[in-house]
Structure 1
Amino acid sequence: MFKWLLLIGLVASVPFAIWVWWLNDQVVSRFEGQKWQVPAEVYSAPIILKSGAPWKKQDLETLLEDTGYRFGRNSQKVGWAARSRTKVSAHLRSYIDHQGYHESERRIFSFENGRLQINALNGDSVAEARIEPQRIGFLYGGNTESRQILTYDQIPQTLLDILVAVEDRDFYDHWGISIIGIARALVVNLTHGARRQGGSTLTQQLVKNMYLSSERTYTRKLTEVIMSLLLEYHYSKQDIITAYMNEVYLAQFGNSALHGFAAASQHFFGRPLNELNIDEYALLVGMVKGPSLYNPQRSPQRAKSRRNVVLGVLKSQGRLTEQDYQSLIQQPIKLADNKRQKSIYGDYLDLVALQLSRDFDEITLATQNLKIYTGVDIRAQLAASQAMQRQVANLEQGDPKLKGLQGAMVVTDTRTGQVRAIVGSSDQYYTGFNRALGAVRPIGSLVKPPLYLSALATGRYTWWSKVEDKRLRFKVGREVWAPENYDRREHGEVHLYEAMAKSYNLATLALANQIGFDRIGETLRQLGVKRPFTMHPAMALGALELSPFEVSRLYQPIASQGQSNELGVVLAVMDQDNRLLKRFNRQTEVPFTDGVLAVTLDGMTKTPQIGTARAAQAAFPELTFAAKTGTTNQQKDSWYVGITGDYATTVWLGDDDNVPMKITGSSGAQKVWIDFTQHVNPTSLSSALPHGVGRFQVLKDSFELAADRCNDKVSLAFILGTEPKKSTSCIWPF
């Protein structure tokens, strides 16, 4: 009998051993391979606060709150801020990006005469301070799982202690399963006649989450036990607890499953995991037992009760004093604003994906946890989105015929050309149709500054030069084209700066006819128009069709005065170990001199002073900026370009079906720009001009330099050598 039983046992153990060997291979290959498919994370640019920049105290406080800083009595801890009646202090976080490691720093901000002043704790003046880049979204794959990967060293010890105390107090002593825990659960379940308590260790929970389904069978339980023993055999407790921290499921929002404590901290509290309080750690640990049941967004009272149970466990184990326990259970649950979870960056992410598609395949971007650093300015993006929504709503309310009005907006850094914000619609959230890229429409009078640039570049014209504003007729095929000014009037002989500022069509056509339409077409291509087009007279009045993004690229060389000519989106890509994979550098060569571009930009400042953008100048009487309005035939499209010391902004409004909307560049798009600019603390264009350019006061009626006492004069920029040679003191004999 013994021999037969031994033989049967040996034969039966062979398939069992093969099964265990197969499970061992599964455990090792999954744990040491790609444990999780984590999509690429996209980050904003750091927010740079500069001494001397225009800032309001309330604006800085709001910015700090939006980026997860807490206000308390002092700012000694990283991630905390404090405020007095006149000052704000903050302990800014450290961060790593493609430019290296940036240490945390404690800074004091004051606001004398509306200008930001930054000081260190010892009182020394500081030129600038930086708020770390913010994660704005994922590329691909982010709709199924949301996760941030932690290393063991990044896990707060307090969280580790609470998790082990509540979920598996024998974690550091068992081999993957706890006989005592199983026996305790068995007694409780038998006593109550139902399954009331589980005996799973943290290792078993990890195995269940990483390797197994949620079915409840004896076979699955046996598999779980064996795999837990194998996991403990191969890996250290640190490896296992780290994997658990990253794998545990904690919530579902929309189509995305929230995994790991780091992602949960950002989702629920809007700040890094290492900045949470004990009661907040207790809330997250309490959710492990029932993520849906104890979700604080859906069931705040139930979540609070569960949190207090966890705090009670800590008190019973001597980890909390009675006084601390009583204080913590009274704390309300303070969650991050739910509305901020709905991304306003969808249109910007379109651009990111478009640029990266040339260098990275979709699978890599969807699984490799790359870190993508962009130039998006979170303040500018929020201000642009809200300005578009508010002003379109106001326009629709004021005129029911404008129902269905849509819009797009592109904001770039005036100097570098980095894209700071993209708005693809007037809707509140991402719609999937990015009009900033896809709305290709006639640009109207936005074509005029490049046209006047063509004239200035010849060396035969200055802003003081005059041109006849009178009706012209052009034969186009078998038909005659006779354009008109917007006011249906002729204005006689006018200076070039007047013709552009007041957007005179007839004067512009006369100038185009003089310098040649082919030359204007070449200028447009040199400024960055890559879309094929055929030059003809109507092009000089804006028949050229471009998207808002293409218009921004067209204006960038002028806005930057030759410092940039391409628009940048992605700055760099790094891997999860912060190794630089690719840095994106852009060409900055512009086929025009800095002087000609600077003179053109200076001439555009006349548009808000005397031309079609006077409403914008009235809104910012102390601001020096350049602008151009644009309106197309039948008022189907409303355009506006505004250039300040910080941002070059293109705004388009219109209907997707291309029907007349009865708004001009001044009455439509300009209002969006004014709203946006009111919320970004604008700075004036620099008064400095490049070498070879000067600004002079000139008499309007005579090509002579005017003294300060002269009344009828205008300030104009000239390429040196083209300015008036004669001067007058305006002293007249009686």
Structure 2
Amino acid sequence: MLKHKFVTIAVLLLASVAVVFAAIFGFYYFKYQKIVDARLSKPLFADTAKIYAAPFEVRPGQKIDASFVAHELQQAGYTRTGRDPVSQMGTYSLGADSVIVHPGPNSYHAPDSATISFAGGVVSQISGQNGEQLAAYQLEPLLITGLSDAHRVKRRLVTYDELPKYLVPAVTAIEDRRFFQHGGLSYTGIARSFVNDYLLPGHKMYEGASTIDMQVAKMFFLTPDRTWRRKFLQVVVTMELENKLDKKQIFQLYANEVPLGQRGSFSINGFGEAAQAFFGKNVGQLNLDECALLAGLIQSPSWLNPMRHPHRATVRRNEVLDAMVETGAITQDQAAAAKAEPIHLIPSAVDAGEAPYFVDLVRDQLSQRLGNDAYNDQGLRIYTSLDPQLQQAATEAVTEGMQHVDDVVRKQHERAVRYEERHHLKVKPLVLPQVALVALDPHTGQVLALVGGKNYEYSQLNHAMAHRPTGSTFKPIVYASAFNTSLAGTPLTNFNGTSAVFSPVTMLNDEPTTFTTADGKTYSPHDFENKYFGEVTARFTLMESLNNATIQLAQMVGLNNIIALAHQAGLTAFQPTLSAAIGTYEATPLQLAGAYTMFDNNGIWEQPWMLASVRTSNGNVIADYSNQSKPLLDPRVAFLTTALMEAVINHGTGAGARSQYGFTAPAAGKTGTENDSWFAGFTSNLLCVVWVGNDDYSVLHMEGATAALPIWSEFMKKAVTLPQYSDVKDFTPPQGVVEETLDKATNLVADSSCPEDYTAWFLDGTQPTDTCDHVNGNQRNIFQRIFGIGQKPAQPQPQNGQPTQPQTPQAVTVPTPQATPQPQQTEQQPQQEPKKKKKRGFWSRLFGSHNNNNNPQQKPQNNSNQDQPQD
């Protein structure tokens, strides 16, 4: 009887517990039914804006083939004709020697098709839809990245049908083998979880037991807290999901939300984003071993990160392949073949493929132009100026170049530490410099590549937008202003009191000079290591970046004229002071790149731009953008200034681009060193500015030629190998300029009796007319000249030959500047002392056979660069 009583009580207790549990379960079931319904009635993912690159332009003569074009179209989301599903972006037909492109309704372009034909590894012709011949055809722009959401999460949304053949079997084999059979819950797993977790000390929640359905419930509707209440609610929500969604819909949610690691400061969520992050592919293009790798990462994305731990990731991938064999998804042979594949990852996707500093600037511009950040929830398609191939080249050049710069800085620091310790001084901490690179199309202002720092994960500060003193990269504006006076026929009064129209052989005085303003302040600029060249030509002054001579020229031209041109070119911080001529005022690398477009674009200044178009998710135009453009220089002035900068690269402070770094294409540029290191230069179709400096504004102690020029050279070498930048041409002289061959000793027209020569470009009418053998009128006949009979008129002494010892500074009074000039440290070293000129013999005087190569005005033959850079 007692036993029966106990049984009755136990049954009643169990029934009461069941009733209470049912009541609680029912309460939460109906509560979360409303929550799930409300959540599912709205988009579960923020439809963030997508950032697209500039379209690749195909032109006849380019060295590309049909497979390259087909790959570009695949990357842009096109599908091959006859394959399902048909992409709304477009389709293409691939033949042996041709590709037919069919833009779809969601394409950036009009729906007109085009046929691109190839022969001998180059584009032979491009035909439009009606058979007309096209000069160029733009392919579909590639997706760079999606903007992150408010939690700095990035994902690329995919549908279940877009997932590759082996991804779903890989995930279910390792994570939830009965996913398509069970009702969302694994009761044995829940029981095991209860026993194990309950028996562990402290009653901590350690056992998972989650099916894919339960993981989806936790991801979208619950917190990650490890409590029994959250576990109970996870079961409730899972049952709700099973009632409302089918298995494909549940897996699609999982495929877009599952965390798969970090890239830089962003979280990688979903297989679509992971496929691009690790393999540079659309998710539908993943093969078996890649699917297995991604499925393996789910267990522990950080621990198994293939970028940092490739061995761990490989072991886990192979475990997934074995699990797929056990489930019958693949054969043993397929698994073995996949295991034999090494992990093929794309390098540094966060810095190269995604251009994070560029994307941040685009985000800022979108906020300004569209009013607020609401655009990022509308799935907009943002088309930009970026060239992904050039961006990759820029990232690689910066990475390689900054490794060298950091090594030099470390060695400098080690020497400084030894000195400080030896003299019992406070040891200063090591400061490693930062970098920026900006590349433009000089004819459109299109920002093709932009690197704002060494490592985006380490620092998101965009140095391409940092205001820093430009150093000598500003000097070409001084010379352009001087050529403007030549165009007007205005003579300039020289240091020796003579007046003449400015030309490349205008003589300037590079002596140490102290300038005194009207209010009694003094300014004493100096050249590198306080060595000076004396009287030199304007061409040589820019070629060797001499400060005193440049300031003298700025006085002759007029500071207000120079600053007016600088402001028109976007360098608005400059003021009409003497120090402005040698670049003591600030500009950003992007601003400086914009200013240099006027030299490389026939005098027309182009405003740098990044935003091309904003469209809806299905391609409808919201806004198209255009940049500002205005003529600032006469084409003759632009060319003459470019010619001087060409001499900088061929013979002057930038000659290391040729002799040390192997860049051979026609180019012009200018080094710069203030606190920082600069190089700004361009070819006929590409302009690039590189800056290197310290965030704390301390002096870098590396000249432009040793820190910035190597990065510029490496980038430009990579660029000219790309089809769209390989057709580099010589700079084309406009009508009204002439080239003259001049004697180095006299800077007059060279003839056979003065064979040591160089070439220079002149505004027609300003070139020398006397020959080197007839200066001041040599009236001797041929026999007198051959045998040295008669008195030859005295010729001027060489004007630009050799360095002199520092001379006593001259005192010069100038008007009071509007801003206090700051002393500048120049980047220039003097040339080596020229060897004594060998006296010419009878036969050399007769036939002009002797050639002395020591004069610094000489133009090297065959790009031999006899004038080494001194920056």
Residues 1:604 and 2:645 are matched in the alignment: yes
1:666–1:305 CA distance, 2 compared to 1 (3 A): closer
Q: 1:519 deviation in Å?
A: 1.0
What residue identity is the alignment partner of 1:556?
T
Q: 1:555 deviation in Å?
A: 1.8
Match of 2:665 among 594, 611, 623: 623
Residues 1:244 and 2:254 are matched in the alignment: yes
1:32 paired residue number: 41
Measure, in 2, the Cα distance between the counterparts of 1:322 and 1:621.
52
Unpaired runs of 5+ residues, structure 2, are: 1-20, 77-82, 85-97, 126-133, 200-205, 417-429, 490-500, 775-780, 784-871
Q: 1:637 deviation in Å?
A: 3.5
Residues 1:666 and 2:693 are matched in the alignment: no
1:146 paired residue number: 154
Measure, in 1, the Cα distance between the counterparts of 2:164 and 2:34.
32
Written as runs of structure 1 = structure 2, the 5 A alignment for 1:89-238 is: 98-99=108-109, 117=122, 133=142, 135=144, 138-139=147-148, 141=150, 143=152, 145-160=153-168, 177=183, 203-214=213-224, 227=237, 231=241
2:682 paired residue number: 643
Match of 1:336 among 331, 336, 345: 345
Measure, in 1, the Cα distance between the counterparts of 2:52 and 2:192.
49
2:777 paired residue number: none
Match of 2:287 among 265, 277, 291: 277
Match of 1:431 among 459, 480, 488: 459
1:420 paired residue number: 448
Q: Check whether the contact 1:185–1:199 (CA below 8 A) recurs between aligned residues.
A: yes
1:621–1:136 CA distance, 2 compared to 1 (3 A): same
Q: 1:625 deviation in Å?
A: 1.0
Residues 1:261 and 2:271 are matched in the alignment: yes
Q: 1:478 deviation in Å?
A: 0.9
Match of 1:406 among 402, 418, 433: 433
Measure, in 1, the Cα distance between the counterparts of 2:195 and 2:645.
85
1:182–1:648 CA distance, 2 compared to 1 (3 A): closer
Q: 1:726 deviation in Å?
A: 6.6
2:597 paired residue number: 556
Q: Check whether the contact 1:440–1:545 (CA below 8 A) recurs between aligned residues.
A: yes
1:129–1:313 CA distance, 2 compared to 1 (3 A): farther
Q: What is the CA RMSD across the aligned residues, in angstroms?
A: 5.4
1:381 paired residue number: 394
2:572 paired residue number: 530
Match of 1:455 among 477, 482, 486: 482
Measure, in 2, the Cα distance between the counterparts of 1:396 and 1:131.
44
Q: 1:453 deviation in Å?
A: 0.9
Q: Does the residue aligned with 1:358 lie in a helix, a strand or coil?
A: helix
Bigger Rg, structure 1 or 2: 2
Q: 1:455 deviation in Å?
A: 1.8
Written as runs of structure 1 = structure 2, the 5 A alignment for 1:353-392 is: 353-360=363-370, 363-364=373-374, 367-368=377-378, 370-376=380-386, 377-392=390-405
1:695–1:723 CA distance, 2 compared to 1 (3 A): same
Residues 1:468 and 2:508 are matched in the alignment: yes
Written as runs of structure 1 = structure 2, the 5 A alignment for 1:486-501 is: 486=528, 488-489=531-532, 491-492=534-535, 494=537, 496-501=538-543
Residues 1:508 and 2:536 are matched in the alignment: no
Q: Check whether the contact 1:388–1:426 (CA below 8 A) recurs between aligned residues.
A: no
Q: Check whether the contact 2:116–2:123 (CA below 8 A) recurs between aligned residues.
A: no
1:381–1:301 CA distance, 2 compared to 1 (3 A): closer
Measure, in 1, the Cα distance between the counterparts of 2:27 and 2:198.
35
Measure, in 1, the Cα distance between the counterparts of 2:532 and 2:631.
37
What residue identity is the alignment partner of 2:650?
Q
1:238–1:684 CA distance, 2 compared to 1 (3 A): closer
Q: Does the residue aligned with 1:304 lie in a helix, a strand or coil?
A: helix
Q: TM-score, normalised by structure 1?
A: 0.74
Match of 2:559 among 511, 517, 522: 517
Measure, in 1, the Cα distance between the counterparts of 2:33 and 2:752.
89
Q: 1:392 deviation in Å?
A: 0.8
What residue identity is the alignment partner of 2:652?
G
Q: Check whether the contact 2:593–2:689 (CA below 8 A) recurs between aligned residues.
A: yes
Written as runs of structure 1 = structure 2, the 5 A alignment for 1:666-685 is: 666-681=705-720
| Superimposed CA distance per residue, residues 261-314 of structure 1 (whole angstroms, 9 cap, x where no aligned partner) | 212323343422111123433444465577678776573365235313431244
Measure, in 2, the Cα distance between the counterparts of 1:658 and 1:478.
29
Q: 1:541 deviation in Å?
A: 2.6
Match of 2:583 among 542, 554, 557: 542
Which 10-residue stretch deviates more, 640-649 or 428-437? 428-437
Which 10-residue stretch deviates more, 219-228 or 304-313? 219-228
Measure, in 1, the Cα distance between the counterparts of 2:679 and 2:242.
65
1:427–1:23 CA distance, 2 compared to 1 (3 A): closer
Unpaired runs of 5+ residues, structure 1, are: 1-11, 70-75, 78-88, 111-115
What residue identity is the alignment partner of 2:218?
K
Which 10-residue stretch deviates more, 35-44 or 182-191? 182-191
Measure, in 1, the Cα distance between the counterparts of 2:229 and 2:455.
52
- Identity between Structure 1 and Structure 2 (%): 23
Which 10-residue stretch deviates more, 639-648 or 571-580? 571-580
2:627 paired residue number: 586
2:829 paired residue number: none
Measure, in 1, the Cα distance between the counterparts of 2:586 and 2:374.
36
